[in-house]
Amino acid sequence: MQKKYDRLSLGLIVGLLLPLAVFAIAMYLRYSNSPQIQYLGFKYLITFAPKILSLSLCSNLLPFYIFLQTNRMLSVKGVLAATFSLALFVLILFIMYN
């Protein structure tokens, strides 16, 4: 019998949306009142975005731990898949812009 909230799609959605939300909040708090963004523009932002995104991937530890402790292994697999796909995206950004 499958447990409630034990779906791969749920893990993927949580694993993708949580780090992106943390990333958006961090970028807003860091650069909302910064005049450097207007002056330096896209190049300045793109050099720091992968670093902040890689740190925001740590937010996936919370749903990973919750799903693991409640024995929802399909959701754990979804969170891991989302984390690895975002990590690959960050690696590609690092290679392209550094």
Q: Give the pLDDT score at 46.
A: 77
Ordered mean pLDDT values, 10 residues apiece, the chain (98 residues): 85 96 88 65 75 93 96 95 96 86
| 22 occurs within a structural domain | yes
Residue 2 lies in a domain: no
How far apart CA 90 and CA 66 sit, in angstroms, is 25
Residue (of 58, 55, 49) closest to 15 by Cα position: 58
Domain span holding position 30: 8-97
The predicted pLDDT at position 38 comes to 60
- Count of domains in the chain? 1
Residue 63 located in a structural domain:
yes
Strands (E), the chain: none
Per-residue pLDDT at 98: 72
65: in domain: yes
User: Encoding tokens for residue 2?
Assistant: 């499958």
CA distance 52 to 59: 12
pTM for this model (two decimals): 0.85
Q: Is 75 helix (H, G, I), strand (E, B) or coil?
A: helix
Identify whether 3 is part of a domain. no
Within a domain: 1: no
- Alpha-carbon span 79 to 16, nearest angstrom: 8
The reply to whether 42 falls in a domain is yes
